[in-house]
Amino acid sequence: MAGGQTAVAEGFVRGALKAGVDACVYLPDSCLTPIIRVFQKSPGVSMIPCAREDEGVGIAVGLHLGGRNPLCLMEASGIGYSGLILARAQVQRSPVVIVASHSAGPGEPFDYHSASALLSEGVFSGLGIPYEVAKEARSLEALIFRVVQTSQGQRTSFGLLIPPFIAAGADT
Amino acid sequence: MNRIEAMEAIAAARGEAAAVTGPGANSGLLYEKADRPATLYNMELGYSTSVALGVALACPGRPVLSIEGEGSFFAGSTVLSTIWRLRPSNLVVIVLDNEIWGTADGLEPTATAFGLDLARLALATGWDEAHVHRPADARALGAQVAAALRGGGPHLIVGKIDPKQDSTSASGSRARPKRHILDCAVLMRATLTGDA
């Protein structure tokens, strides 16, 4: 991993652990894999790979019901698969924090991410799920802490979208 | 076997196992016959088993049941490979397969009516024969569920329901849980975390 990516990933995981995250449900993604690698080295975090993103959200709902505090990491395309189970999670107040790459904002050069960028904010908005698009790498640690804090305190799912250049630490 | 016999056998074996049930007849029947505080009813189609997997991972000391029809289970069947990869010993997945979508007039066949074999699907995703069970009748189903809930999982139990004997296939003819899904989730979490 490049140094910028590693520093961003380490800061993100520090913030998540400080907020009490103890499980990471994930599918690998080019932007978020550095974060997954840091979680994998973090004692006390259960790593749960899944086969589809919506399956992972279902697993996260179950983890929360059992008293755990998971994050779901995925490419934004998976948010599209996850609409129904995210709606159920909202209705029954089983909050799921989704951390996903790609947004409709700047820094998305590839056409094959267009659909992912289009749908992620649409799903969150449509379901009334609050979300943030990360604006700078150096504040990710504080941002994920606050996202998890709000999700737990308000019993709501929460989305955090991380554009590729932020995950790469290339915003400055 | 018919679905009511099957659910009576499951209910008798349940004990205090946590449970997540899929949409439709299984939810109402479990509520009627073996309601417990740690139960989520009418989980969305395709997600009963993934949610149950999460509960099982969070609560390794407690048996956890997922009960789904074959239509819902197949819709979410990627979870088979994830379960086998993680192998929670306390998870028991029960699929009651009547080969019919349990909605509307109850006449629309599902994929299993055309040859899909969910037990073989599990084997194809890596499961071994020792963890995949095909009880032939309600008595065998009850015995298998009771044995599986003692541990050694994960277990997949596929019970064939005779569609000609299934009076619960049409959506207008079934019992429904009387606890709201929000209350179910609050009660389940409080029970599982010792905060009830």
Domain hosting residue B137, numbered range = 3-192
Question: Out of B54, B86, B189, whose CB is closest to A58?
Answer: B54
Would you say the pTM of this structure is higher than 0.80?
yes
Residues of A in contact with B122 (CB under 8 A): none
So what's the pLDDT on residue A171?
84
In chain B, how many domains are there? 1
Model confidence band, residue A83 (pLDDT cutoffs 50, 70, 90): very high
Residues of A in contact with B185 (CB under 8 A): 65, 92-94
Nearest residue in chain B measured CA to CA from A91: B182
Domain CATH number, residue B46: 3.40.50.970
Complex ipTM, two decimals? Answer: 0.96
Residues of A in contact with B79 (CB under 8 A): 50-51, 55, 58
Model confidence band, residue A2 (pLDDT cutoffs 50, 70, 90): low
**B53 and A58 in contact by Cβ < 8 A?**
yes
Give SS3 for B65. strand
So what's the pLDDT on residue B164?
84
Are B41 and B31 in contact, with CB atoms under 8 Å apart? yes
Q: Is the omega angle on the peptide bond into residue A70 within 30 degrees of 0, that is, cis?
A: no
Q: At what angle are helices B48-58 and B79-86 packed, to 10 degrees? A: 20
Residues of B in contact with A71 (CB under 8 A): none
Find tokens 């997949």 and name the residue.
B156
The structural domains of chain A, ordered by start, are: 3-167 (3.40.50.970)
- The per-residue pLDDT for range B40-61, each reduced to its tens digit, is 999 999 999 999 999 999 999 9
**A62 and B193 in contact by Cβ < 8 A?**
no
Phi-psi domain of A67 (left: phi exceeds 0; alpha: psi -120 through 50; beta: other): left
For testing contact with chain B, the best of A27, A57, A59, A63 (most B CBs within 10 A): A59
For testing contact with chain A, the best of B40, B48, B51, B191 (most A CBs within 10 A): B51
Are B154 and B92 in contact, with CB atoms under 8 Å apart? yes
Phi-psi domain of B134 (left: phi exceeds 0; alpha: psi -120 through 50; beta: other): beta
How far is it, in rounded angstroms, from Cα B21 to Cα B69? 9
> Which A-chain residues 15-34 have CB contacts (< 8 A) with chain B?
23
Tell me how far apart the 2 most distant CA atoms of chain B are, in Å. 47
- The per-residue pLDDT for range A121-131, each reduced to its tens digit, is 999 999 999 99
How far is it, in rounded angstroms, from Cα A104 to Cα A122? 10
Give SS3 for A131. strand
Phi-psi domain of A121 (left: phi exceeds 0; alpha: psi -120 through 50; beta: other): alpha
Give SS3 for A102. coil
Question: Out of A57, A66, A85, whose CB is closest to B55?
Answer: A66
